Structure 1
Amino acid sequence: MPNDVPAARLPALLAAMPKAELHIHIEGSLEPELIFQLAQRNGVALPYASVDELRKAYAFTNLQSFLDIYYAGASVLLQEQDFYDMAWAYLLRAQADNVLRAELFFDPQTHTARGVPMETVIQGLHRACTDARIQLGVDAELILCFLRHLSEAEAFATLEQALPWRDLFIGVGLDSSELGHPPEKFARVFAKCRQLGLHLVAHAGEEGPPAYVWAALDVLKVERIDHGVQSVHDPALMQRLVRDRIPLTVCPLSNLKLCVFPKLADHNLRQLLDAGVVATVNSDDPAYFGGYLNENFLQTFAATGMDARHAYRLAANSFEGSFAQADAKQRYRDRLDAVFAAHG
């Protein structure tokens, strides 16, 4: 573990340290400027007159009010190049934030429901990930997410549609409206994905109760939990997370924007870390929630008083919690140690 770093030097360390991002919805990285650019390219009419008017609409009171505008933004994505351009814009920002590994969530049902072919979605995103490895040094992979407000049957249909491109994504997840849609709803489709050798993750314990985290672990048998901040209300669950080293992909600015916590100083990330949970920091939907990965680190550390030891643990946790190969994880850790040694 590193020695402490003076508070004045901590922001520079947070920005410089290598890290992985494990909870990024690629559609949620679609900035208003690119939305308008793609709308013009594809002849899509938007219900907003300007970039500024669209930005002003980003006043969310809960998850659903965010999702409503999120789906409207995604309507401009029609061609393979659109998906490439969206992912590439994010990956450039990831490189600038010293992200070595990015595991990108994508929501095919958002697009296939509009008549966009599965191949268009996956090929565009995959091509950007391939170029990022070569040109940016960012190891990017895709995780296909099912929309939990839709039915299990629709999730199965989406999986079948995606199987011809099985080698282009590494896992599946579960996102969208959590309340009223418990993990058990998707038990059979996750069992099928497990048989296919896919990695499994699921959103749980953001707005939903700790029981949803238990169900994601025991029914869906996921390898990590996306969000999971409500776990602190269940001591037995906290013990389980620590004992089994279940990663939590925590998204502080998202939690603030969606009113999961009234202010950032109230966030329980430090509590999770100090309890021994494999917590990580992520940006979720950064175009909508006010910050990419480094901004999440900078604002959260400023608000909570965490120090360099917490920073090191969060970065190390992000590599441990990733689905990278063991040799890649060791390379990431070596680079992390080198940065901390230089800042010591």
Structure 2
Amino acid sequence: MKNFIYGLPKVELHLHIEGTLEPELMFELAKRNKVEIPYNSPQEVHEAYQFNNLQSFLDIYYQGANVLITEQDFFDLTWAYLLRCKEDNVIHTEIFFDPQTHTARNISFDTVVNGIYRALEQAAAELNISSRLIMCFLRHLSEESAFETLGQAMNHKDKIIAVGLDSSELGHPPSKFTNVFQAALQAGLLTVAHAGEEGPAQNIHDSLELLGITRIDHGVRCIDDEALMNQLIANKTPLTVCPLSNTKLKVFDKMEQHNVVELLRRGLCVTLNSDDPAYFGGYMNANFIAVANAHPMSKKELIQLTFNAIQASFISEREKKRLTEITKAYLHQ
């Protein structure tokens, strides 16, 4: 089954590019940019990656982002992730980035997006990996700050397909961002949001109703609300689930308790993703293997996760058909 997973074509829909900053690259960029970091070696950073909850992770995540300064830094970060995609047989990826993390440090929006986008274009040409870019608003900041960020994004509408909502879920309900999401929709952008990770099922419902989202990031708490579950099944609303992240941040104590396979078998459009893989101990193959080890699955179920991700992606119907054919061919080889 491990060999089957390694060869399986994969589509990743929930990936924070800042969360792919491996300790080795963090040290390299800190040295390049003469940035002080509170660690003496990459090994010390690895040892610091023990989290009790989402906030304890976010504290170190934002600290790590301080080494990202130039357009080349953002290119190098993204390119390193894309090489991992090639290794894990990811054929399409949809990447989140957090501009406010960087503009707050006086790094320009243009620097961030141009570095990331240049790597995505190079991956399409050299690695045969297609991609889309999603700009996230940080929910612990104000809606006013989100509006400012949306304004900055308008010069890059050719590069950005959607907006999302991430960071601390507790205490920052979807209702806080209703107006900026309406403005994003009016500007022709798609919308997604983190909901039902550490927050309640109600956040999923509110994100759908108030933010007009077409895809839920995480969403594992939907299981607490049967009416919501039925609605998600009926509407084929995708959930971008991140198993290793959920266990690392204690959403579930261990993988055997994770509900992703139950949700799949109940008929929800669930997908597997790596979230912040440098911090949570694994990219796509590792997430698939962790789930399959804890919950024995058939090859048909594993490949359904890829079919779900293709259907949930923000690519054209023609492109969805092409990726579906590639995946079907793998099942029948």
- TM bucket (normalised to shorter chain) is over 0.9
Give the structure 2 partner of residue 227 of structure 1.
218
Match of 2:249 in 1: 258
Identify unmatched segments of 5+ residues in structure 1: 1-9
Which runs of structure 2 are paired with 1:239-254 in the superposition (5 Å)? 239-254=230-245
Tell whether 2:3 aligns with 1:15. Answer: no
Q: Distance in 2 between matches of 1:329 and 1:166?
A: 22
Amino acid at match of 2:88: D
**Structure 2 residue aligned with 1:137:** 128
CA distance in structure 1 between the partners assigned to 2:96 and 2:69 by the alignment:
18
- Tell me if structure 1 keeps the 8 A contact 2:13–2:93: yes
Q: Does 1:216 align with 2:207?
A: yes
Residue from 144, 169, 178 that aligns with 1:187: 178
1:71 matched to which residue of 2?
62
SS at 1:208 equivalent: coil
Q: TM-score, normalised by structure 1?
A: 0.96
Separation in structure 1 between the aligned mates of residue 230 and residue 304 of structure 2, nearest angstrom: 18
> Which whole-Å CA distance do the structure 2 matches of 1:299 and 1:128 have between them?
29
How far off is 1:307 after superposition?
Answer: 1.8
Q: Deviations over 1:142-179 (max 9, x none)?
A: 10000000000000011111211111111100000000
1:59 matched to which residue of 2? 50
Q: Which residue identity lines up with residue 137 of structure 1 in the other structure? A: N
Distance in 2 (alpha carbons) for counterparts of 1:146 and 1:68: 17
Identity %: 53
CA distance in 1, matches of 2:332, 2:298: 16
For residues 99-135 of structure 1, give each alpha carbon's deviation from its aligned partner in whole angstroms, at most 9, with x where no partner exists.
Answer: 1110000000000000000000000000000000000
Q: What is the CA–CA distance in structure 2 between the aligned matches of 1:239 and 1:47, rounded to whole Å?
A: 48
299-308 or 251-260, which deviates more = 299-308
SS of the residue corresponding to residue 133 of structure 2 reads strand
Which residue does the alignment assign to 1:297?
288
Q: Which digits, 9 at most, give the CA deviation of each residue in 1:221-247, with x for residues without a partner? A: 100000000000100000010000100
Please, which runs of 5 or more residues in structure 2 have no aligned partner? none
Greater relative CO, 1 or 2 (CA 8 Å, sep 6+): 1
Q: How many equivalent residue pairs?
A: 333
Aligned equivalents of 2:199, 2:50: Cα separation in 1: 21
Provide the secondary structure at the position in 1 that maps to 2:211.
coil
For 2:24 and 2:181, locate their aligned partners in 1 and report how far apart those are by CA, in whole Å.
Answer: 36
Amino acid at match of 1:219: L
- Code of the residue aligned with 1:103 in structure 2: it is E
Matched AA of 1:42: N
Q: Which amino acid aligns with 1:161?
A: Q
SS in 2 for 1:219: helix
Paired with 1:331 and 1:324, the residues of 2 have a C-alpha distance of: 11
CA contact (8 A) 2:15 2:273 kept: yes
1:269 aligns with 2:273: no
SS in 2 for 1:24: strand
The residue number in structure 1 matching 2:25 is: 34
1:236 aligns with 2:233: no
Q: Secondary structure at the match of 1:116?
A: coil
The structure 1 segments of at least 4 consecutive aligned residues displaced by more than 3 Å after TM superposition are: none
User: What CA distance in whole angstroms lies between the structure 2 residues aligned with 1:88 and 1:242?
Assistant: 36
- Secondary structure of the residue aligned to 2:140 is coil
What amino acid maps onto 1:258 in structure 2? L
- Matched to 1:97, the amino acid is D
Find 1:109's aligned residue among 93, 100, 106: 100
2:250 and 2:20 mapped to 1: Cα distance? 20
**Where does residue 308 of structure 2 map in the other structure?**
317
Rounded Cα–Cα distance in structure 2 between residues aligned with 1:15 and 1:329: 21
